[in-house]
Amino acid sequence: MTVARYIHLFAGTFILLSLALGVQGSPLFVSQWWLAFTAFVGANLFQFGITDVCPMGWMLKKLGVPETKVACSR
């Protein structure tokens, strides 16, 4: 998997989890403050779209995750 796929995977997971914990109708409801985490992830995605700067991308690259998939050579 590439950096971009991990970013999408983590963002989607965190948004769904924080919604499950923050919406009162959810069986996993804990507190409405979890919705602030949803807003934080959304704000980071928004600023990435404008600035092309992603802290999670930097961390994944430092962990050795490839930016692109290398095609198989023949």
Print the domain residue range for 22.
Answer: 3-62
pLDDT attached to residue 18: 96
At 72 the pLDDT is 55
The one-letter amino acid at 12: G
What is the Cα–Cα distance from 49 to 39, expressed in whole angstroms? 15
On the 0-12 / 13-18 / 19+ scale of CB atoms within 10 A, 20 is: middle
pLDDT in tens, 20-38: 999 999 999 999 999 999 9
pLDDT on residue 10: 95
Region of 41 please: left (phi>0), alpha (psi -120 to 50) or beta: alpha
Specify if 10 maps to a domain. Answer: yes
Does residue 14 lie within any of the structural domains? yes
Mean pLDDT per block of 10 residues along the chain (74 residues) reads: 94 96 96 96 94 93 88 52
Total count of domains within the chain = 1
